[in-house]
Chain A
Amino acid sequence: MTMRRVAIIGVGDTEFGELWDASFREIGIKAGLAAVASANITADKIDAVYVGNMSAGRFIEQEHIGALIADYSGLARDHIPATRIEAAGASGGLALRQGFMAVASGLHDIVVVGGAEKMTDVSDVESAMIQSSAADQEWETVLGATFPGLHALIAHRHMHEHGTTRDQLADVAVKNHKNGSLNPKAQFQREIKRETVLGSPMVASPLRVFDCAPSSDGAAAVVLCPLDHAKNYTEMPIEILGSGQASDTLALHHRKDICTMEATKVAAARAFKMAGLSQKDVDIAEVHDNFTISEILAIEDLGFFKKGEGGKATEEGRTSLGGEIAVNTSGGLKARGDPIGATGLAQAVEIVTQLRGGAGKRQVKDASVGLTHNVGGTGATVVVHLLRRV
């Protein structure tokens, strides 16, 4: 069986941040409706819905998210299939992959893929505990490891093995805040300095508050259809050229090298192979910078820079707007915000916006190929997508 080529024909998202006046279902619907409206389709055309969400059960005590979203989108009476996808931080990216596969396989024509998380209804401590459940509960969390703590181990090892400096970690945050300052939907729209990062309270040595992505509320969505039909709905379809997914050990200590996320390497290789592209072809990338060290690992493991040179590349501005590959033009998880289930979709929305030339002040000139990199846990699930202007 040959796969059909798949295109994104519509995108929608909400502002990210502390959206205290809006409920989970409100933000989910807002992003979904915006995507559907921008795809110029009507509800009766939708064949299926996929929703990325990590932990609504614990954040808002609501499970059964697929049905909830279908219902409040007005799709319940059409009885369309609605499925929730969970893979911790990679929930959104994995939902996108499920939608992609559904359309590519020929099973569905029009699929809406959304992602949403409402994280600020619980206390900061509770939020940290919920996020830490993406790690291995029996071997890591129960023994006191937190999510920032595990990433701090990675950071220390990376600094030790490869000479990555504390300043270089800070530079990731500085760059992403600068990009965020150009994104009206970002949670943080203020530029910061290295000193801001270095002077912020310690979370888990060497990571400080400004090394960590925030807790956020937010949602994002895309509409998919077969590439052959795409021009019926939009003049600027964006093709999903490659989709790669990989798993790794759940616990960090079972990896042979904690400075490398093997799942990133494998997922990227699979996506590049499917797309018939190489790293050189990529103009922009949205990578999973839930911590500053994560972005350094990501740009190395995705193959944009050699292992150990990610920090230096960031320091030299090679990943900044105007650099050789613009990384996290949206502000990334760090500044755009990280509503977990929505993050993978927000990455796709940013790449589509850039490839369509609609990114305003943060627009990367002539961008034609973009990559999204979405990570669950400390790298136990990774999803990579390659998108191209048609």
Chain B
Amino acid sequence: MKVGIVSYGAYVPRYRITPDEIGKVWGVDGKAMGKGLMIFSKSVPSPDEDTITIAVESARNMMRRCDVHPKDIGALYVGSESHPYAVKPSGTIVAEAIEASPDLMVADFEFACKAGTAAIQTCMGLVGAGLVKYGVAIGADTSQGAPGDALEYSASAGGAAFLIGSEKIIATLDHTYSYTTDTPDFWRREGQMYPRHGGRFTGEPAYFKHVVSGAKGLMERNKTAPKDYTHAVFHQPNGKFPTRVAKQLGFTDDQIKTGLVVPHIGNTYSGAVPLGLSAILDEAKPGDRIFAVAYGSGAGSDAFDITVTEEMKDFRRDRAPTVKELIANPKFLDYATYAKFRGKIILGSE
């Protein structure tokens, strides 16, 4: 049985802040920082937005594009590293919002930036095994960067949802492969407001080692090469890392440009590869092959080999905004408003 993507939807908050504006506050050349990171603005959730609202918006956009009855959804998983509740699922709210309750399995996932793709893999298994007709996999985050920390220039918000099934598939999920080790490059303990990270350690031994190993592992098992793919998307914590890893693996700038959304919206963590993949699906044609590798600190990578089907021709992409449309018309914030929006201003108590 072929398993694949039946529908998808994305969401990105409208607010933005530039590295320059952040740098001004911390005495850093933000323009140079942005150029180095290849991030020119990052999305900021409004005070009424969190991972759950982003997941709901994405899931609703996903449902708008298909005619699947919500009661046919047998599983829903939300992957995030910024679930609003430490104890209480995000997924139950999303399931209610799209009217999929109560006959379904729900759980929240966390694996730093790749919890969303882990949810896709779980749904692949459930659909493939015939346990559910449809599964919803969501990656969404309102990621945190401590004030003044390097992460503050990139940590942003956004997400995307995928309906996984075996009928009317617009893109088949042909293969997946994960590469996992215990590599503590980035973490946040219970009760801590902001994550900590190993600085440059997050690069070579973490991101690059795992993304390269995940990508090569999949291509070796698949007997494919970079030239076999029309599009590729790699986890995008900034613009520099995915561009460099693509080159290292032998992918061209042309192959990665459609899915590279980070320069405009920053690092959406669990939303990063899901949003990049959505941007590709917004434009992909039947027969296109997509290569996707998500990375999660801690650390692991999820690699996917995806093929766009003939169903894409009749798919109603126009029923919901494309990633390009979501990214357009941003509202720029100054640092003070941004600090208020992100809860960085601690209000005195009575």
Contact = CB atoms under 8 A, between A and B. Distances in A.
A124 interface: yes
Interface string B198-225: 1111001100000000000000000000
B201 A20 contact: yes
A123 B205 CA distance: 15
B199 A124 contact: yes
B29 A21 contact: no
A120 B201 contact: yes
A20 B199 contact: no
A18 B204 contact: yes
A20 B200 CA distance: 10
A18 B200 contact: yes
Contact of A123 (B28, B199, B204): B199
A201 interface: yes
A20 B205 contact: yes
A59 to B, nearest CB: 14
Query: DSSP majority for the A interface?
Result: loop
A120 B198 CA distance: 9
Contacts of A120: 200-201
A201 B29 contact: yes
Interface in B214-267: none
Interface string A118-130: 0010011000000
Contacts of A21: 205
Contacts of B199: 123-124
Of the candidates A18, A20, A120, A124, the one having the most CB atoms from chain B within 10 angstroms of its own CB is: A20
B196 to A, nearest CB: 8
B181 to A, nearest CB: 12
A20 B184 CA distance: 12
Nearest to A202: B27
Interface in B167-221: 198-201, 204-205
Contacts of B28: 201
Nearest to A127: B199
A215 to B, nearest CB: 10
Interface string A330-349: 00000000000000000000
Contacts of B201: 18, 20, 120
Nearest to B196: A123
B204 A20 contact: yes
A18 B202 CA distance: 12
A382 B204 CA distance: 36
Nearest to A21: B205
Contacts of A20: 201, 204-205
Contacts of A123: 198-199
Contacts of B29: 201
A301 B241 CA distance: 45
Interface in A110-148: 120, 123-124
A123 B200 CA distance: 9
A204 to B, nearest CB: 13
B24 to A, nearest CB: 15
A123 B150 CA distance: 13
A201 B29 CA distance: 8
A123 B196 CA distance: 10
B291 to A, nearest CB: 27
A21 B28 CA distance: 32
Contacts of B204: 18, 20
A16 to B, nearest CB: 15
Nearest to B197: A123
Given A120-B201, A201-B29, 7 more contacts: A18-B200, A18-B204, A20-B201, A20-B205, A120-B200, A123-B198, A123-B199
6 contacts: A18-B200, A18-B204, A21-B205, A120-B201, A123-B198, A201-B29
The list of the 7 closest CB pairs from A to B, nearest first, reads A20-B205, A124-B199, A123-B199, A20-B201, A18-B200, A20-B204, A21-B205
Interface of A: 18, 20-21, 120, 123-124, 201
